[in-house]
Amino acid sequence: MLGGGQLGRMFTEAAQRLGYRVVVLEPSEPCPAGLLADEHLVADYDHTEALNRLGEMCEAASYEFEAVPAQAVEYLRDRITVRPDAQPLSVAQSRLAEKHFAAEHTPATPPVPYQPIEEAAQIPAALEQVGSPCILKTDRLGYDGKGQAVVESPADAEAAFSRFGNVSCVLERRLDLQQEVSVIVARDCEHSVAYPVAENEHRNGILHCSRAPANISGVVQEQVQDSARKIADALDYHGVLAVEYFITSAGVFFNEMAPRPHNSGHYTLDACVASQFEQQARILCGLPLGAPTQHTPAVMINLLGDLWNSREPDWALLQGDPSVRLHLYGKKEARPGRKMGHLCVLDPDPDVAYARACSLYEELSA
């Protein structure tokens, strides 16, 4: 596994449970995945010797973040199985490429109107075309709302473009969102399955809460699942793919995708027959797909470092409630915005699960 964060950690747990051994390549030590892995190679992702070592020890490799250097993936795929492959990775690494891909392959759920920005001179015409207000986003390396700015005028957009270092960007219309949803698709060489759609709430650009199933009609649920599976098919994707959609009064729009398990799919650990991480391990190892069937409605809430506030939250507040599952990622240092863990509340009534998750979170934050 290239990358040693919480996604790598949950993959490691799933793979080990299936009887596999896991090597993690990650420069920082200690790291959440390295603490559990059979071996932690402490080196940069593009360190040739470390990649050689990984190639010798492992039969297959994957990555837990899309900013993984393309040359590391290229280097490994000449030696061992790497999933997902370099081509779908390159699409998911670029907002422009993924929007273009969605426009072509899933016109029923098109991307939000957008224009590429390569240089400041393109901004006035692009703003005109897209319509105000807009969001300027860097083409690459954005996450958790970073590398984004809401802009109303050419001057705003030019200032943001220069703040981002004049890198390639996309200017897109800022929509009035009714709901945000996402779906996890697992696809092997022959089949794909989609999980129930999750409904997401963000705070400060970071995912706060996901509830599954989403509070959407069966028609929209199917539309979203079909679109995401079409994208996976068109990419000839082998692995776990997450796709985010916006729901507005004008219909459903593609937002972005991630070539890996996703924070909004953490509920699958507690509420589904096979989790998104188990699917990742199965696909990597050539096993048949597991069942994405959800057995209980679930609400996941992220536990960010902000909650620590100089001391660890009082987990006893959760431990008395048998419907709550707590997941901590083994990070020693809590920083604002840092994902330290999550909780998942299960209840046959989704509204009860949601209310309970919100009130437990309030208590933890008090």
Q: Whose Cβ is closer to ligand ADP: residue 175's or residue 328's? A: 175
Q: Whose Cβ is closer to ligand ADP: residue 79's or residue 173's? A: 173
Q: Whose Cβ is closer to ligand ADP: residue 20's or residue 143's? A: 143
We find the least distance from the C-beta atom of residue 2 to ligand ADP, in angstroms, to be: 19
Q: Whose Cβ is closer to ligand ADP: residue 43's or residue 149's? A: 149
We find the least distance from the C-beta atom of residue 69 to ligand ADP, in angstroms, to be: 19
As a whole number of angstroms, the distance between CA 294 and CA 271 comes to 5
Q: Whose Cβ is closer to ligand ADP: residue 39's or residue 306's? A: 306
CB of 89 closer than 8 Å to CB of 66: yes
Classify residue 253 by burial, with Cβ atoms within 10 Å: 0-12, 13-18, 19+.
buried
Nearest to 246 by CA among 172, 188, 194: 172
Q: Which residues contact 219 (CB under 8 A, 6 or more apart)?
A: none
Q: Whose Cβ is closer to ligand ADP: residue 71's or residue 178's? A: 178
CB of 198 closer than 8 Å to CB of 224: no
Residues lying near ligand ADP in the complex (CB under 6 A) are found at: 112, 135, 142-145, 172-175, 177, 180, 202, 205, 244, 255-256
Tokens of residue 291, six digits: 């069942």
CB of 320 closer than 8 Å to CB of 360: no
Q: Whose Cβ is closer to ligand ADP: residue 145's or residue 330's? A: 145
We find the least distance from the C-beta atom of residue 134 to ligand ADP, in angstroms, to be: 8
We find the least distance from the C-beta atom of residue 331 to ligand ADP, in angstroms, to be: 20
We find the least distance from the C-beta atom of residue 292 to ligand ADP, in angstroms, to be: 23
We find the least distance from the C-beta atom of residue 139 to ligand ADP, in angstroms, to be: 12
Name the E strands within the chain: 23-25, 39-41, 60-61, 81-82, 114-117, 134-138, 148-151, 169-173, 179-187, 192-194, 198-203, 206-212, 239-248, 251-258, 298-304, 324-328, 339-346
Integer CA distances (angstroms), 295 to 111, 224, 226, 275, 346, in order: 32, 20, 21, 12, 10
We find the least distance from the C-beta atom of residue 189 to ligand ADP, in angstroms, to be: 29
Task: Kindly report the backbone phi and psi dihedral angles of residue 209, in degrees, each rounded to the nearest multiple of 5, phi listed first.
Answer: -145, 140
Q: Whose Cβ is closer to ligand ADP: residue 136's or residue 357's? A: 136
We find the least distance from the C-beta atom of residue 122 to ligand ADP, in angstroms, to be: 18
Residue 168: CB atoms within 10 Å: 15
Residue 317: CB atoms within 10 Å: 15
**Strand bridging mode 324-328 / 339-346:** antiparallel
